[in-house]
Amino acid sequence: MGKISNQFLANYLLMFIISVIIAALGLALMDFANHVISKTLAKNNFTAESIMQDNYNALNTELIIQNGGGVQVINSNYEIVFTKGIDTLKKDKLTIQEFTEFLIKSNSKGIEYSYSIQYNTKMNFWLIVTFPTSFRIDFMVVHNKEFSSADKQRVLGIVVAILIFYLILLALSTIIYSKISSIRIVTPLKRLSESVSRFRDGDYSVRVDLKLQNEFKELQDTFNAMAQELENQILITKKLEETRKKLMLDISHDLRNPLTCIIGYAELYQAKMKEDSLSIQEQETIIRIILENSSRANVLISGLFEMSKMESPEFLLDKKMTDICEYLREKIVDAMPLLDRAGFAYDFNIPENEIYVLVDTIQLDRVFQNLLLNTIQYNTEGTRVTIVLLERDNIIEIIFKDDGVGMSPSTAENIFKPFVRADVARNSQTGGTGLGLAIVEKIIALHGGSVKLKTDEKRGCEFIILLPK
């Protein structure tokens, strides 16, 4: 920040030097302008000296009158014996005192007339040429080059002292103003820098409040928005990391059980074969257990593969226009044997008219298969399953519900997450993989729809699927 303050000081010192140069140039220009103007002014072109004649009655006053001036002649008795044009005396005769005051006044500053006075020594009269002042600044520096004055050194000293004092004041004002200006820039930057440092050190809750209404407020708002976004992203990342760790633990746990069982029975089979003490019934039992656990591990790995494939950016649905009513009727027919074997009752309400929806039927098959297997797996004989299709303005609503055991609100809240099962006491040996409903939600989301669950313990589950037309 010191560099910014020094830069401000350097800039203002430069402006100080420029100001001094401009002032000097201004004085020079004023002198030049005065010189140029003096050549064009009527009062300088028509002076008393230039028109003087011994016979004042023969004076050439025509051009003076045309330029708005006037001419007066005063004799030795102070009588105005000749007058043409403007007359500022306004008398026929003056006293000695009045004439003396006039002579003094004619050289005074601030008067509204310019006087040119010349005395004719031969004929003893004064010739006065008068012009009204158009515009004049009475500032003049006069120096006598022929004779030296006793006051010269003192006056020069005072003038130099005033000039130095003026320059010192101008320099101090420049420095003070540069400091004030730099503070207005540096202070907000310091606060922003401190906030950025805290943010860099891991304090993602830091925010900036500069209480300003300029460009720094825009920078402040941008920083705060960025900090809020990064804080949200970090929280999401932490949550995803926790979910990933839990997912890995769940995968390890669910795979370990069948793999441990497979390895254990394979080792038992190998030991028994060496001892030649393995009966045919024991062989069948061991092979059956190994096969069941291999199938369970394969189901889990297949589910993980499907989840991973769906989360890939390259995964695309193969959507086709499908009559959703006819499609559901076909799925219901396929599901009836499974429901009958499980001892479930069922009720279906599908409209007779055609309703076309753009869907990937292969992926939608997986949705209904998972919902059906989930219902059969977690409910008892006698449960009633109901499938209803409703047509809304721009959506299709599919209701898949049962009146079975239901689940607790805490479980229902996370049921669409991977490895969450309706019965926490179940594991990969007694229940499903915990991926079925997560896959259902993913497929419906890829279709631009949504799925939600209404449930309560002992009141069954109602899955509501919404798909855009």
Between 144-153, 156-165, 272-281, 432-441, the lowest mean confidence (pLDDT) is in: 144-153
Q: Are 305 and 337 in contact (CB under 8 A)?
A: no
Structure token pair of residue 398: 């599919």
Res 144: pLDDT: 63
216-310 and 316-468 agree in CATH topology = no
Sheet holding 345-349, edge to edge: 345-349, 384-391, 395-402, 461-468, 450-455
In words, the CATH class of domain 316-468 is alpha beta
pLDDT band at 275 (very low <50, low <70, confident <90, very high): confident
186-231 pLDDT, tens digit each: 777 777 788 888 877 777 777 877 776 667 777 778 878 888 888 8
5-27 pLDDT, tens digit each: 666 667 777 777 877 788 777 77
Residue 294: enclosing H or E segment and its boundaries?
helix 280-311
What's the CA gap between 107 and 113, in Å, rounded? 10
Q: How many residues does the chain have?
A: 469
What's the CA gap between 5 and 288, in Å, rounded? 84
pTM of the entire predicted model: 0.46
- Per-residue pLDDT at 333 exceeds 80: yes
Average pLDDT over residues 346-359: 92
Q: Centre a 10 Å sphere on the Cβ of residue 421 and count the other Cβ atoms it contains.
A: 23
Could you give the percent of the chain with pLDDT greater than 70? 84
Res 373: pLDDT: 86
| DSSP string covering 389-431 | EEE-SSEEEEEEEE-S----HHHHHTTTSTT--SSTT--TTTS
Sort residue 368 into left (φ over 0), alpha (ψ -120 to 50) or beta. Answer: alpha
What's the CA gap between 217 and 211, in Å, rounded? 8
Q: Are 97 and 152 in contact (CB under 8 A)?
A: no
* Average predicted confidence (pLDDT) for the chain: 81
Residue 279 phi, psi (nearest 5): -80, 165
Between 58-62, 71-75, 223-227, 317-321, the lowest mean confidence (pLDDT) is in: 223-227
Q: Centre a 10 Å sphere on the Cβ of residue 117 and count the other Cβ atoms it contains.
A: 18
pLDDT band at 428 (very low <50, low <70, confident <90, very high): very low
- Which residue from 133, 118, 129 is spatially nearest to 63, judged by alpha carbons? 129
- Per-residue pLDDT at 467 exceeds 80: yes
Q: Are 370 and 434 in contact (CB under 8 A)?
A: no
pLDDT band at 424 (very low <50, low <70, confident <90, very high): very low
Q: Which residue has the higher pLDDT, 394 or 272?
A: 394
Res 136: pLDDT: 59
pLDDT band at 425 (very low <50, low <70, confident <90, very high): very low
Res 72: pLDDT: 94
What's the CA gap between 148 and 218, in Å, rounded? 67
- Per-residue pLDDT at 141 exceeds 70: no
What's the CA gap between 80 and 89, in Å, rounded? 9
What's the CA gap between 401 and 422, in Å, rounded? 15
Q: Are 118 and 49 in contact (CB under 8 A)?
A: yes
In words, the CATH class of domain 216-310 is mainly alpha
What's the CA gap between 10 and 467, in Å, rounded? 68
pLDDT band at 400 (very low <50, low <70, confident <90, very high): very high
User: Could you identify the residue written with the tokens 């005395």?
Assistant: 119
- Rounded (5°) CA angle 436-441-447: 130
What's the CA gap between 180 and 265, in Å, rounded? 85
Res 405: pLDDT: 87
Between 47-61, 87-101, 202-216, the lowest mean confidence (pLDDT) is in: 202-216
Where in the chain are the domains?
216-310, 316-468
301-310 pLDDT, tens digit each: 777 777 677 7
Res 32: pLDDT: 74
Average pLDDT over residues 385-399: 91
- Per-residue pLDDT at 145 exceeds 70: no
Sort residue 126 into left (φ over 0), alpha (ψ -120 to 50) or beta. Answer: beta
Structure token pair of residue 274: 């060496």
- Per-residue pLDDT at 259 exceeds 70: yes
- Per-residue pLDDT at 326 exceeds 90: yes
231-241 pLDDT, tens digit each: 888 888 887 77
- Which residue from 384, 394, 468, 376 is spatially nearest to 431, judged by alpha carbons? 376
| DSSP string covering 3-37 | HHHHHHHHHHHHHHHHHHHHHHHHHHHHHHHHHHH
Average pLDDT over residues 75-91: 91
